[in-house]
Structure 1
């Protein structure tokens, strides 16, 4: 076959340009991954372990990346790394690249036992102490190589800034930048111990609560002592009073079991007590409070498969125990 020198001369610059662009893309992809691990791990040495490079090489790659971009991405101190405004933007894209790589690897290797990594979730204390431990145990039995890192906290956590994959949230969901999967609706109940009713009588209508010791759960958007009831046209609240207020649902439940007073709490918290008769529900047809429980996660085009599987598992678990809510 004759070798066409003219053709080679014509296509060679285009070929070299393509190779150069490909090399640039590959280099940038590596830098995205290095930067992702640097921020996730919080140190150059830990990031180096993740990507199989030395600490000095990782440091040089980040410095070169900042030079190429013309912006500073992180503030470096001897104790910690802090993202700049540009760094936060770049980290969002770096996370997308990391998830894309993870999804590709998982798709090629197949699902099931091969799934690995960590899922970080933030959860209110009631959910974290009741149904979730069993749900996580069942999930871990199916996917033993996936590590679940659960943080119990009643505060409103910024899941993007604090590096969580998802959050379990109850109630209103104002932030449209997140995707929410409804798990179940949580109905609230008013209940007390039999000995409390033996001493104080049983309220028949909501207005009679002013004569009762109503123990308050302070972790509520509507207020600890503003109890919500059904009205003819719309819900209304009654202001109650009592001698105990707490932000810990377990402590509130124990106080009710000891006969101290009435509580207005999510049914799931006391479902077993109601079944056993150690607590008795009152005003059942008049209580109005019902809040959705959601799995919330940041919008991303490349959500990790392990997170999708975990959310679906949570949904099935909550639905299976819907009668407790």
Structure 2
């Protein structure tokens, strides 16, 4: 028997919202009805789609494949309804997104909250996380990523480039001197931003148009950008961080930028979403809203 299209759409909604109860509420159904319809879908396909625990839903391999297709079915159905009813003039629904901690705290929390205020029928669940989340497997609609994109099943919209900087407090430099060349850093206490699993101590520099790494050392490391900034402000060492994190401190003289012409780390910031023929209009509008907020403070980067 061919699975019913509305069951596929309901299945996609369950995964997107993360629970049977939320999907039931969104569709005006009871939990038991949603559970029975998903069980019917599994029976018709002859495959278990979801592992259910008391705390979370986990997709099986078959479930992950079907979820990607079911999202496309739900999107195509919505586009068809929009084309006939003109409903695309108003936006509604739920968006689950993940953003880096620095950008999240700097501008995205406020930007996304403003987007929700502009579109009251839309709700957004925003997670602040530096790791490269699995969009499909973890059910994200949109991710803001800083770094390099390798997954061909995703589409990335470049927003802008984020330049990194080496900085230190005037008090630290008065005690230990100001490095004149990158190799001078080997004699300094370098505070390590260990948000990445590897390469945190390998700082990148430019030389004759080429990029090379220099392995530094220090007595303090953290995976939290705010903690690293505070350690640098307190004069405990040099920090190698995204410039946007410390831009106000550089402007106010609380931190001094070092070797600006030699620092070689620049990472792109991207809006990333699963590969579909056409992302939902609400996602496209949210990306444009976010991009405009980044552009408004591009001098931070």
Do Structure 1 and Structure 2 share a fold, with TM-score over 0.5? yes
User: 1:78–1:173: structure 2 CA closer, same or farther, 3 Å change rule?
Assistant: closer
Within a 5 Å distance, the mapping from 1:95-110 to structure 2 comes to 95-107=71-83, 108-110=85-87
Within a 5 Å distance, the mapping from 1:1-325 to structure 2 comes to 28-75=4-51, 81-107=57-83, 108-111=85-88, 114-220=90-196, 223-325=199-301
After the TM superposition, which of the residue ranges 260-269 and 98-107 deviates more from structure 2?
98-107
Tell me the equivalent position of 1:18.
none
Verify the 8 A CA contact 1:106 1:115 in the aligned structure 2.
Answer: no
After the TM superposition, which of the residue ranges 198-207 and 182-191 deviates more from structure 2?
198-207
SS of the residue aligned with 2:127?
Answer: strand
String of CA shifts for 1:243-269, please: whole Å, max 9, x gaps: 211111110001111111111111000
Verify the 8 A CA contact 2:15 2:139 in the aligned structure 1.
Answer: no
Verify the 8 A CA contact 1:103 1:305 in the aligned structure 2.
Answer: no
Verify the 8 A CA contact 1:96 1:302 in the aligned structure 2.
Answer: no
Name stretches of at least 5 consecutive residues in structure 1 with no aligned partner. Answer: 1-23
After the TM superposition, which of the residue ranges 238-247 and 85-94 deviates more from structure 2?
85-94
Verify the 8 A CA contact 1:191 1:264 in the aligned structure 2.
Answer: yes
String of CA shifts for 1:199-222, please: whole Å, max 9, x gaps: 111111111111211111112466
> In structure 1, what is the Cα distance between the partners aligned to 2:167 and 2:249?
10
Tell me the equivalent position of 1:7.
none
SS of the residue aligned with 1:235?
Answer: strand
What's the offset of the Cα at 1:129? 1.2
Work out which of the two has the higher radius of gyration on C-alpha atoms and give 1 or 2. 1
User: 1:109–1:210: structure 2 CA closer, same or farther, 3 Å change rule?
Assistant: same
User: 1:292–1:222: structure 2 CA closer, same or farther, 3 Å change rule?
Assistant: farther
String of CA shifts for 1:300-320, please: whole Å, max 9, x gaps: 124211001011111222122
User: 1:121–1:41: structure 2 CA closer, same or farther, 3 Å change rule?
Assistant: closer
Verify the 8 A CA contact 1:178 1:298 in the aligned structure 2.
Answer: yes
Name stretches of at least 5 consecutive residues in structure 2 with no aligned partner. Answer: none
> In structure 2, what is the Cα distance between the partners aligned to 1:312 and 1:60?
39
Verify the 8 A CA contact 2:68 2:136 in the aligned structure 1.
Answer: no
> In structure 2, what is the Cα distance between the partners aligned to 1:201 and 1:171?
32
What's the offset of the Cα at 1:236? 1.4
> In structure 1, what is the Cα distance between the partners aligned to 2:284 and 2:242?
27
> In structure 1, what is the Cα distance between the partners aligned to 2:250 and 2:34?
58
Output the TM-score relative to the length of structure 1: 0.83
> In structure 2, what is the Cα distance between the partners aligned to 1:202 and 1:260?
14
